Amino acid sequence: MSYQKTIMVVDDNLDIQNIAQAVLEGEGYRVMCADSGADLFDKLEDQKPDLILLDIMLPGMDGLEILRRLRGNPDTSSIPVTMLTVKGEPDDIQQAYELGCDYYLTKPVTGKQIVDSVNQLLRRAERRPQ
């Protein structure tokens, strides 16, 4: 990596934030955390991450609405998003992909699954024409 890639973990569960942060930092990524949509959008004003791990069930604004807003904003529309959620019904997954998620992981997940999805999406993003 030419520079340290930044991953934003958006989850209101502190344990999930801590686990994802430990696993990803162990792989050399810089990790930022947000516990709500409002918190995420505040942080996006200062820095755009290279990838977002996004839960669906969040206080205030759910992850699907956050995804809709990310995709609707030219400043954030190209940031890869992995949904990381307990919602594993086919309708949930389909809706997330229709709204523009790039990858969908259903909790519980392993650290390897998180790292593999992040690596895969970042490689894909690097190959995209700018």
Question: What pLDDT score does 2 carry?
Answer: 52
pLDDT at position 130: 55
Q: Identify the segments of the chain with pLDDT beneath 70.
A: 1-2, 129-130
Tell me what pLDDT residue 1 has.
Answer: 41
- Helix (H), strand (E), coil (C) string for the chain: CCCCCEEEEECCCHHHHHHHHHHHHHCCCEEEEECCHHHHHHHHCCCCCCEEEECCCCCCCCHHHHHHHHHHCCCCCCCCEEEEECCCCHHHHHHHHHHCCCEEEECCCCHHHHHHHHHHHHHHHHHCCC
Q: 112-129, pLDDT tens digit by residue?
A: 999 999 999 999 988 876
Report pTM: 0.94
Extents of the domains making up the chain: 6-125
CATH assignment, 6-125: 3.40.50.2300
